[in-house]
Amino acid sequence: MDKIKINSGGMPLRLDDFDVIQVSTLAGFTAIIKAFVGNNACIMSGIVVSGGTGSAQVSEGYYFDGAEIFYVPSATFSYDSQKILHLVPNFIDTESRIFADSVSRDCWQTRQYQVAYANPIPQGGVRIDNLIRLTDYQTEYIVTQISQGCGITGMINVPYLYGYTPATSYQYIRVQGNQLNQRMIHAAFTTDSSSGKIGILPVGLRPTSDIVGYYRSGANALGMMIIKKDGGIWVMNASTSDVNYITFQYLQQVEDSINYNVPVGSGGGMS
C-alpha cells in the first residue's frame, strides 16, 4: 500500500498527504475483511445483545458495512417487544478551527454506527439480528477450503507393466489425490502371474515409506499389495483366473519407520 516518505529539510505538507494515510490504511483492512465476506455487511466483534424482560443491553463492538469499518458504542434500552434493535449511521463533524481565510470549519468527522431501538426501522438502519458475524464467515471459508482440499480428483494415468492386462475399457492404473497428502490408486487387471510389479508411480506421487495394503483378488479373495518408496506397485496372491480390483488409498508423506520387504514369487524379494 502507499505510504508517505519521511524526509528532513522542511517537507511541505498538503491535504493529499493525509488522504494517502487514510486511503491506504482503510484499503488494507477492507481487503482482508472482504476476503471472507465479500461485499456483505457483518459484525466484526462485540455488539452482543443480552438482558431479560426488563432491559436490553448491547455491548460495544465493530461493524463492517461492506466497505468500511465502524465503531459501535454500547447501549441499554428498556425492553419493548414491539421494537427492533438495529444500527444506524451516526456521523458528526467536530473540531471547528479558524482557517487562514478567517472561516471556521470542522476538521474531523466522527463516523460511528449507534444502536437504536424503534419500529419501524428508519432508512439506512440495519437489523442486528439479521447480521452475520465475521467469525461465522471465517468458519464457512475454512470449511469450504478444507472441503475443496479433501476432494479426490484425477491426477495421472500409470501404464500397466508387461504381464498385466487392463480388465476394463480404461487402459491405465488411475492415480488420484487431493491437497491433504492423500492419494488413491484404482486398477482392474488380469494376469497369468500371481505376484509381481504391475506399475511404477512417477516421482511426486511416491510415498516416503513403503506401504502395505490389500486389494480384491478375484471373486472372493484378498491379495496383498505394496507401494514402494521407489514407486513400484507390487501385488501378491493375484487371481490368474478372474479380474483383480484395486481401490487403495494411502498417505504420501509417512514416517519411514518400517521397511517392508515381502517376498514375491519363489523366494524373491522386492527391490
* Regions of the chain where pLDDT drops below 70: 1-3, 20-21, 23-24, 52, 256-271
* pLDDT tens digits along 28-78: 778 878 878 888 899 999 999 887 678 888 999 999 998 889 999 999 988
Alpha helix (H) residue ranges in 1-123:
15-37
Task: For the chain, give every domain's residue range.
Answer: 15-147, 153-269
User: How crowded is the C-beta side of 107, counted as CA atoms within 13 Å?
Assistant: 9
CA distance 128 to 49: 9
* Class level of CATH domain 153-269: mainly beta
Task: Give the model's pLDDT for residue 269.
Answer: 47
Give the pTM. Answer: 0.56
Say if CB 258 and CB 210 are below 8 A apart. Answer: yes
